[in-house]
Amino acid sequence: MLGALPPNVALKALLGAIESAGVGCTIILEQNGRLERVYANDAIARTFGCTREEMLERAPMDLLPPSERARLGVMNRALAAGEKGAIALETAVVRPDGTSVP
């Protein structure tokens, strides 16, 4: 029942549960039109073929192939214009070795 907890306690509990479960997770925030990765765990870094530190240093869009960057840009502009968007999104990322991961 995270709703009854203060936001910082709820976030800490959620991230602790994600870490314990071994689920890959990254959190990206948009501030002033700029995307910034503020969290990445070891599980997601392994999926993307890098360390957690390397993942945190890379710009969020750098992991996407150019075609996906363009597609997500169109979706983002539509959302910013007030259009309804998809609740879920499927995409792929490109690992440093060039392999694609859905």
Predicted confidence (pLDDT) per residue in 2-56, tens digit: 456 677 888 888 888 988 888 888 888 888 878 899 899 999 999 889 999 999 9
Distance between CA atoms of 36 and 28, rounded to whole angstroms? 5
Distance between CA atoms of 96 and 102, rounded to whole angstroms? 14
Report which of residues 92 and 5 the model is more confident about: 92
Q: Which of 64, 70, 73, 66 is nearest to 94 (CA)?
A: 64
- CA 38 → CA 14, 27, 59, 73, 77, distances in Å? 15, 6, 11, 20, 22
pTM above threshold 0.95: no
